[in-house]
């Protein structure tokens, strides 16, 4: 695991020493991603510099140092992530040909051997892992960037005149003297809708995220090249529609059990201490169960709790941990811990990001980081196996709504809005046990008001966008700003079920742009590597071969995952409403976070920045304070942007002294 950065100057205007100095400054902004090692490689004739910070996980020796050259000297790579099937690839790369002269046991060196044997794209198609890399081909004089299939590892790039600049985080790009850092106002509109800036956009002009499952090849001759996919979920779904899974339920459970065991086993390979996040839900409990089943010692598990029972998951997590026999650690979040984390969020996430569960995710990462260097996570199960409410109810919603006249829909929406979200919450709590378990939800009032907003929609794409949106009309809060288009998958992809359509869109958008960003930045902020076994592409491909009723059954998602988990944990310990890492944000904004929020929402400040409608913000802030309405998620979007603006005004930190002394031979050039 590393932080990588670099640039290509097609004008060749920098001497070698200047190339190295710039690359060193860029890499040093990423030292939290890699505290163990530092390296820079420069080719003055090409105008190229590569740099990295390393978090040593496999092969802790100097043989794993980056930037790394291939045995022949043709390729030079900086690489962030893990290639889990590297041992298999190492054996394959030497079969039927000249033996590769391996110097160590790192997966980075195996990547280079694969590039020499098969070429870059054929090799990437063989990789099972999470990765973002930049590799310089000295023979072709080309720079290729690559990213894993689901976007676990980040990679930004920017074209600024004659310079192509890239890095794991935007702070590395900001450290380059040619990077302008001009805020893209249209990206603010995207942020307000999605609570993040979705790929390929970024918050800055002329700056993009490399999409998941894509390669970008740059040279002086083709400086304006665009990313090209090497793997497509769309194609996986099409292929499985022609050759679906033909076996029975027991056979499907057995096959998925084997795949998940193998995926977990591969991700338990580490030369440093390893553990797992445990919420007590289906996904994380399954991952931990399979870890413990394949471990000779007690797995270290970590959970976050809250003194507000509505958001507390620590009790359930500790019950699962006791049953499995893990070495469990938990932390209860208070408003004091939340306030201590919040000032650091803009620096950690480096781009406007407003998923409130970022707070407990940072806290649980800090807890785990005190004991381990690698932690497995249960992310991905919802997207592949229908875990969100919109998946379970999507088909029923469309089937019941489509025949209804629009006038009837509007009447129903008005009825749902008769009670404020808080009043619905009180009603659900009062009814308590009278409500069937499958209908019990966290924040039912918010979800019912969300339902009211979609009653008039008939197109599935529009329905998904409405369900996944915070600000439904961004022109009201950003006057005169148009919202750019976001690619929501292949429009020509057809689905028999609304649920599958939404799972597909979630995998392409919400998963990489929100869930995986939250995990990567939180874990990397404390030099902790997060691994996600459910995002093994073999698991995804198998999941999409299954009929929908093996994923969603009786309005309950993840049916097949549950059958696997029940082999290790009694049903009663895990069959409960979905929780997740949540916080009582509405209460905190009215209480301990009020002063902090009001300073960011100051009318003079909003006028001076000139982005938002200060009158509308003033209105919803006072409605929230009075309890007339719950605007916590909308307000959190604004607050996180305002806090990010404060961080954006800061200059990138200067490089720490003595970076070369860290490794002795860190700086190299040709």
Task: State the DSSP string of 347-390.
Answer: HHH-S----TTHHHHHHHHHHHHTT-SEEE--TTHHHHHT-SHH
Question: Which superfamily does CATH assign the domain made up of 234-385+501-574 to?
Answer: HUPs (3.40.50.620)
Contacts of 37 (CB under 8 A, 6+ apart): 52, 53, 54, 56, 64, 65, 66, 662, 663, 666
Report the run of H or E that residue 194 belongs to, with start and end.
helix 185-194
The set of catalytic residues is 2
End-to-end CA distance of the chain: 25
Residue 661: band (very low, low, confident or very high) from pLDDT cuts 50, 70, 90: very low
Model confidence at 666, pLDDT cuts 50, 70, 90, reads very low
CATH topology of domain 2-231: 3.60.20
**What is the DSSP track for 26-41?**
HHHTTGGG--SEEEEE
Backbone angles phi, psi at 47, to 5 degrees: 75, 30
Q: What are phi and psi of 268, to 5 degrees?
A: -90, -5
Confidence class of residue 667 from pLDDT cuts 50, 70 and 90?
Answer: very low
d(Cα 443, Cα 425) in Å, to the nearest integer? 6
**Does residue 477 contact residue 619 with C-beta atoms inside 8 Å?**
no
pLDDT digits over 350-375, tens only? 999 999 999 989 999 999 999 999 99
Starting at the edge strand found earlier in the chain, the sheet holding 2-9 runs: 207-209, 156-160, 163-167, 2-9, 48-54, 37-43, 667-669
Average pLDDT (568-580) is 80
pLDDT grade for 663, boundaries at 50, 70 and 90: very low
Residue 548 or residue 488, greater confidence: 548
- Identify the residue whose tokens are 């084997």: 258
CA distance 631 to 420: 11
Classify residue 74 as exposed, middle or buried by CB count within 10 Å of its CB (0-12, 13-18, 19+): middle
What is the location of CATH 3.60.20.10 in the chain? 2-231
Are 599 and 561 a contacting pair, CB within 8 Å? no
Q: How confident is the model over 200-207, as a mean pLDDT?
A: 96
Per-residue pLDDT for 488 more than 60?
yes
* pLDDT surpassing 90 at residue 73: yes
What is the per-residue pLDDT across 227-261, written as a single tens digit (0 to 9) for each? 999 999 999 999 888 889 999 999 999 999 999 99
Question: Is a pLDDT exceeding 90 seen at residue 412?
Answer: no
Q: Return the exposure string of 587-612: e unless at least 16 CB atoms fall within 10 Å of the residue's CB, then b.
A: ebbbeebeebbeebbeeeebeeeebb
Contacts of 580 (CB under 8 A, 6+ apart): 279, 281, 313, 357, 442
Query: What 3-state class would DSSP assign to 625?
Result: helix
Chain-centre distance for alpha carbon 41: 29
Q: Look up residue 207 and give its two tokens.
A: 């700056």
Q: What is the mean pLDDT of residues 52-66?
A: 85
Residue of 120, 113, 119, 83 whose CA lies nearest to 98: 113
Q: Give the DSSP H or E segment for 23.
A: helix 16-28
Tens of pLDDT, residues 173-185: 999 999 999 999 9
Under DSSP, the state recorded for 43 is: E
Q: What is the DSSP string of 287-332?
A: HHHHHHHT-SSPPEEEEEEESSGGG--HHHHHHHHHHHT-EEEEEE
| Other C-beta atoms lying within 10 Å of the C-beta of residue 248 | 10
Handedness of CA 116, 117, 121, 126 (dihedral sign): negative
In the chain, where does the domain assigned CATH 3.40.50.620 lie? Answer: 234-385+501-574
Which residues lie below 8 Å from residue 397, measured CB to CB, with a gap of 6+? 454, 498
The residue-averaged pLDDT of 284-288 equals 97
Q: Which residue has the tokens 């949540």?
A: 582
Contact 263, 247 (CB under 8 A): no
Burial class, 634, CB count within 10 angstroms (exposed 0-12 / middle 13-18 / buried 19+)? buried
- pLDDT (mean) for 129-139: 97
d(CA 387, CA 98): 48
**Radius of gyration for the alpha carbons in the chain, expressed in angstroms and rounded:** 25
Top-confidence residue, 583 or 122: 122
CA distances from 59 to 107, 131, 263, 271, 533 (A): 9, 17, 21, 7, 21
For residue range 296-352, what is the model confidence (pLDDT) as tens digits? 999 999 998 877 766 677 888 999 999 999 999 998 877 787 778 999 999 999 999
Q: Length of the chain in residues, anyone?
A: 670
- Closest by CA to 181, choosing from 165, 199, 193, 197, is 165
Query: What is the pLDDT, as a whole number, of residue 582?
Result: 64
Overall average pLDDT of the 4-11 stretch: 94
Q: Are strands 228-229 and 300-306 parallel, antiparallel or unpaired?
A: unpaired
Q: What is the pTM of this model?
A: 0.91
């Amino acid at each position: 695991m590393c932080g990588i950065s670099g640039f290509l100057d097609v004008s060749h205007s920098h001497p070698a020493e200047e190339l190295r100095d710039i690359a060193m400054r860029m890499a040093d902004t990423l030292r939290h991603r890699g505290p163990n090692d530092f390296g820079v490689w420069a080719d003055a004739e090409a105008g190229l510099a590569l740099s990295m910070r390393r978090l040593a996980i496999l092969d802790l020796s100097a043989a794993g140092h980056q930037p790394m050259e291939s045995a022949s000297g043709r390729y030079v790579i900086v690489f962030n992530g893990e290639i889990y099937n590297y041992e298999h690839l190492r054996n394959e790369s030497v079969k039927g040909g000249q033996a590769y002269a391996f110097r160590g046991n790192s997966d980075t060196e195996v990547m280079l051997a694969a590039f020499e044997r098969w070429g870059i794209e054929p090799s990437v198609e063989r990789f099972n892992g999470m990765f973002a890399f930049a590799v310089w081909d000295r023979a072709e004089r080309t720079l290729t960037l690559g990213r894993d299939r689901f976007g676990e590892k980040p990679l930004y790039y920017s074209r600024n005149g004659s310079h192509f600049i890239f890095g794991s985080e935007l702070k590395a790009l900001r450290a380059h003297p040619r990077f302008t850092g001009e805020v893209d106002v249209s990206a603010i509109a995207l942020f307000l809708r999605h609570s993040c800036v979705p790929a390929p956009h970024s918050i800055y002009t002329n700056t993009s995220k490399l999409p998941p499952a894509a390669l970008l090849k740059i040279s002086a001759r083709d400086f304006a090249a665009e990313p090209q996919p090497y793997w497509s979920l769309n194609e996986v779904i099409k292929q499985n529609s022609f050759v679906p899974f033909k076996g029975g339920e027991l056979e499907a459970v057995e096959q998925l059990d084997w795949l998940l065991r193998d995926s977990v086993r591969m991700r338990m390979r580490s030369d440093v201490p390893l553990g797992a996040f445990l919420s007590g839900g289906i996904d994380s409990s399954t991952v931990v169960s399979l870890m413990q089943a394949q471990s000779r010692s007690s797995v270290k598990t970590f959970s976050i709790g809250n003194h507000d029972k509505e958001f507390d998951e620590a009790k359930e997590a500790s019950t699962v941990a006791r049953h499995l026999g893990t070495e469990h650690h938990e932390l209860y979040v208070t408003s004091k811990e939340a306030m201590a984390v919040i000032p650091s969020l803009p620096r950690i996430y480096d781009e406007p990001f407003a998923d409130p569960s970022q707070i407990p995710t940072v806290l649980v990462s800090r807890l785990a980081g005190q004991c381990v260097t690698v932690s497995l996570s249960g992310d991905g199960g919802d997207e592949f196996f229908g875990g969100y409410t919109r998946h379970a109810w999507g088909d029923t919603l469309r089937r019941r709504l489509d025949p209804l006249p629009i006038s009837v829909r509007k009447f129903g929406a008005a009825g749902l809005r008769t009670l404020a979200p808080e009043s619905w919450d009180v009603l659900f709590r009062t009814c308590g046990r009278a409500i069937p378990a499958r209908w019990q939800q966290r924040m039912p009032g918010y979800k019912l008001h969300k339902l009211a907003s979609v009653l008039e929609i008939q197109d599935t794409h529009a329905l998904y966008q409405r369900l996944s949106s915070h600000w439904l009309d961004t022109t009201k809060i950003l006057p005169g700003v148009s919202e750019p288009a976001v690619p929501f998958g292949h429009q020509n992809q057809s689905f028999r079920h609304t649920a599958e359509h939404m799972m597909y869109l979630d995998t392409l958008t919400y998963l990489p742009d929100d869930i995986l960003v939250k995990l990567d930045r939180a874990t990397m902020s404390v030099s902790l590597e997060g691994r996600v076994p459910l995002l093994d592409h073999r698991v995804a491909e198998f999941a999409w071969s299954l009929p929908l009723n093996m994923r969603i059954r009786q309005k309950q998602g993840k049916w097949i995952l549950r059958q696997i988990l029940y082999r290790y944990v009694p049903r009663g310990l895990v069959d409960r409403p979905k929780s997740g890492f949540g916080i009582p944000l509405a209460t905190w904004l009215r209480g301990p976070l009020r002063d902090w929020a009001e300073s960011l929402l100051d009318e003079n400040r909003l006028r001076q920045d000139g982005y938002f409608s200060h009158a509308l913000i003033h209105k919803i802030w006072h409605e929230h304070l009075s309890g007339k309405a719950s605007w916590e998620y909308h307000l959190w979007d604004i607050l996180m942007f305002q806090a990010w603006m404060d961080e954006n005004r800061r200059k990138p930190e200067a490089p720490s002294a003595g970076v070369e002394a860290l490794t002795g031979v860190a700086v190299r050039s040709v």
